Amino acid sequence: MAEQPTSPMLLPLADGIVPQEVVARTEKRWLTAMTVVLILMLVLVVLTSTVGALHPASNVEVIQPLTLHLGGEFAESNLGTALEPDGSATVRLIAEQYDFVPHCVQVPVQTPVKFRLTSADVVHGFLLPNTNVNTMVMPGFVAEVRTQFRHVGEYNMPCHEFCGLGHHGMWTHVIVVDRDVFAGLGPFERTRCGHK
Ligand code: CUA
């Protein structure tokens, strides 16, 4: 009688079980295919970023993320909704792990609104459902989106770019109010929403 191999891997296979060499060959084939796809995608990313001028969403406006709080446009006192001389509104927000600062802003209805955002740490997303507002927020760049709200209402805004373990809890509010109501709000109230 032939000697039985000691390793379970070398025992003869029961009918219907794919032999080890066949499994190994198939795995190697898929591994090669995946490696080729990965390299192809990497080459595409490098090519499009160098030749195709791939750049952040909206405009290319750089900013130093480490010193946002020290002064300039994104200093804390300058965040929230500001009214421009032409009657439009500008909202400045900082996205950071895991919240938007400020956490809630009020904007006037039927008025051009410009959102300017930047990140203090990693890449975040800014999306207002049912509007054209949808942008990535990258550290080092200012993202700018313009919109106009036609109706009074409240928008819940989840961060839609995975940014870490607390990503699911990162969201903010944008509350659209009547123009008269907005005119009556002080700069402090525009950046807070009372009950929020
Ligand atoms: Cu911030 Cu996800």
pLDDT attached to residue 31: 97
Closest CA to 81 of 33, 53, 125, 115: 115
- In angstroms, the CA 20 to CA 52 distance is 46
pLDDT attached to residue 18: 82
Contacts of 104 (CB under 8 A, 6+ apart): 172, 173, 174, 175, 191, 192, 193, 196
**Cβ 136 under 6 angstroms from ligand 1:** no
**Cβ 176 under 6 angstroms from ligand 1:** no
**What are phi and psi for residue 192, nearest 5 degrees?**
-130, 160
Give the mean model confidence (pLDDT) for residues 70-92.
88
Q: For residues 104 and 97, is the Cβ–Cβ distance under 8 A?
A: no
Give the mean model confidence (pLDDT) for residues 168-191.
86
pLDDT attached to residue 196: 45
**Cβ 92 under 6 angstroms from ligand 1:** no
For the cut 60, the answer to whether the pLDDT of residue 140 exceeds it is yes
Residue 96 Cα to ligand 1 midpoint, Å, equals 8
pLDDT band at 74 (very low <50, low <70, confident <90, very high): confident
pLDDT attached to residue 157: 85
pLDDT digits (tens, 9 = 90+) for 84-129: 899 899 999 999 999 998 888 999 999 999 999 999 999 999 988 8
Kindly report the pTM of this predicted structure. Answer: 0.71
Residue 168 Cα to ligand 1 midpoint, Å, equals 7
C-alpha distances (whole Å) from 107 to each of 114, 140, 175 are: 10, 26, 6
**Cβ 119 under 6 angstroms from ligand 1:** no
Please count the CA atoms within 13 angstroms of the CA of 26 that sit on its side-chain side. 6
Q: For residues 172 and 104, is the Cβ–Cβ distance under 8 A?
A: yes
**Cβ 138 under 6 angstroms from ligand 1:** no
Residue type, 83: L
Residue found under tokens 């949808």: 134
**Cβ 169 under 6 angstroms from ligand 1:** no
- In angstroms, the CA 7 to CA 22 distance is 19
Residue 130 Cα to ligand 1 midpoint, Å, equals 19
Q: For residues 150 and 65, is the Cβ–Cβ distance under 8 A?
A: no
CA angle 62, 64, 70 (to 5 degrees): 130
